[in-house]
Amino acid sequence: MRTLIFTLALCFTSVAFAKPVIFDNDMAIDDWAALLFLLQHPQTDVVAITISSSGESHCSPGLTNTNSLLDLSKYSRDSVLVACGDDEPLDGYAVFPDAWREDSDTLSGVAVKPSKRQASSEHAIEIIHQAIKEADEPVIIVATGTLTNIAQWIEKYPADMKEVSRLIIMGGNVDAPGNIIVPNFTDGHPNVSAEWNIFIDPLAADKVFASGLPIELVGLDVTNSVRLTAKVASEFKKSVTTPAAQFWDKILDKNDWFIESGEYYFWDTLAAIVAVEQGLCEGEMGSFSVEHKTTDNPWLPTSQLDFPKKRWDGKERQHLDAQWAGKLVKTSEYPAIKVCKKTNPNKVFSLFSEILNRQ
Ligand SMILES: [Ca+2]
C-alpha cells in the first residue's frame, strides 16, 4: 500500500512539474536519443516536434520516423504536433553529406513499427506558434538541428518569444575547433572553424543569436567531453528494459563502426539532458554573430544546386563562402547567451541510461 501511495505521489509530482517542451530537430542518430530522453523524462512534456529538414533528415522520412519513435515511449502524448519546415537553409546551398542523410532517413537500418499517428501538413513554424499558444506556461525549446525553423518562427511571431523560458541549442563552437572535416566524408573541406548545424544555415543562426531569446549553447566546447565510446555503449547495454532502450541498443549495434571511429559524441543528447538538468551546463556568457558572407566560388561537395533560387523572404538565394560559413564571431552588439563549457560526462551517460529505462 505504501508503495502504491508513493508511486501515485510520484506520478502526480511528475505530471505537475513536467514542463512543456518543443523539440526542433533534424532526426539524425543523436536526435533520436535526444527525443527518447525527452519523451521518457518525468519533468518534460513534449508538446510539439518540428523537423528542420534543411538538416540531416529529409522531411517525409523525418515525420514517419518521429511518429514511430513516439510510439516507443509510453509517456508520449496520444497526439503530439509533428511537422516539417523548409527543405533548404535561409540562404546558401549547403547540405549535409548524402551518406549521413540516408542514414538519418532510414534510422541506421533499424526496423520500427509503422505508426498510426498523423503528422501535420502545416509548416513547422505554425506548429511552434500553436504549441506556445496552447501551453499554460512558458515553453522550453530544444533545438538540435539547423536553426532554419527557429529563425523563421521568430521573424513571423516575434511576440511568442516572451513565452519561451529557455532555448537550448546544440550548435556552434567558441574555443573548440570546428567539426566540418570528417575523415572519409568531407576530406579537404575548406572550413576549419564551424560546427555542422550552424554551418548549414548560418544566416538562421545569426538571426537566432541576435534575437534576445534566453539561449543556452550546447556546442562543441562541451560536447567534446561526452564522446560515446565502446565503453559507454557496453555500460548502456548492461541494462536494457524498455522499448526506447531496446531501440537505442540496436542503434548502437548498427553504429559500432561510428563509435569505433571516435567521432561520435552526445551532441544533441547533451542538449536534451541540459534541458532538464541545467547544472550539467557550466558555462559563461558571451555575445556572438555568425559568419555568412556570400561568394561566387562555391564549395560544391557540400552544396545542393537545385534549391529554389528565391529565398524564404523572396530575395535571390546566393552561395555562402564555405570556408567561413558558420564561424562564431565575438561581438558586443548582440545579446549575451550562455555558452556551456563543462559538464559531468559520467552523470550524463548514467542519467541517459536511467531515463531511457524508466518503467
Ligand atoms: Ca541533430
Give me the amino acid identity at 11: C
Does 189 reside within a domain? yes
Q: Kindly state whether residue 206 falls inside one of the protein's structural domains.
A: yes
* AA identity, residue 278: Q
Give the pLDDT confidence score for residue 16 in this predicted structure: 57
Cα(219) to centroid of ligand 1, in Å?
A: 12
Q: Into how many domains does the chain fold?
A: 1
Ligand 1 centre to CA of 104 (Å) is 10
Q: How far is the CA of 207 from the centre of ligand 1 (A)?
A: 19
Note whether residue 100 is domain-resident.
yes
The model's pTM is 0.95
Q: Residue 329 Cα, ligand 1 centroid: separation in angstroms? A: 22
- Residue 3 is assigned to a structural domain of this protein: no
Residue 255 CA, ligand 1 centroid: distance in Å: 16
- Is 268 part of a structural domain of the chain? yes
Mean pLDDT, rounded, for 217-221: 98
Judge whether 299 and 247 are in contact, CB under 8 Å.
no
182 assigned to some structural domain: yes
Give the span between the Cα atoms of 62 and 339, in whole angstroms: 29
Pick the range with the lowest mean pLDDT from 13-22, 198-207, 343-352.
Answer: 13-22
**What does the pLDDT read at residue 318?**
98
Cα 270 to ligand 1 centre (Å): 11
pLDDT for 328 equals 98
Burial of 164 (0-12, 13-18, 19+ CB in 10 A): buried
Cell reading at 170:
546544440
Ligand 1 center to residue 259 CA distance, Å? 17
Q: What is the rounded end-to-end Cα distance, in angstroms, of the chain?
A: 19
In a domain, 12, yes or no: no
Measure 26 CA to ligand 1 centroid, in angstroms. 5
Instruction: Determine the average pLDDT of the residues in 101-107.
Output: 98
Ligand 1: centre distance to CA 25 (Å): 5
Residue 4 lies in a domain: no
Q: What is the pLDDT of residues 14-42, one digit of tens each?
A: 455 899 999 999 999 999 999 999 999 99
Q: Work out the pLDDT band at 5, boundaries 50, 70, 90.
A: low
Domain assignment of residue 288, given as a range: 17-356
From ligand 1's centre to the CA of 96, what distance in Å? 11
How far, in Å, is the centroid of ligand 1 from the Cα of 132? Answer: 22
Q: How far away, in angstroms, is 28 Cα from ligand 1 center?
A: 5
Q: Find the CATH number of the domain harbouring 289.
A: 3.90.245.10
Average pLDDT over residues 218-241: 98
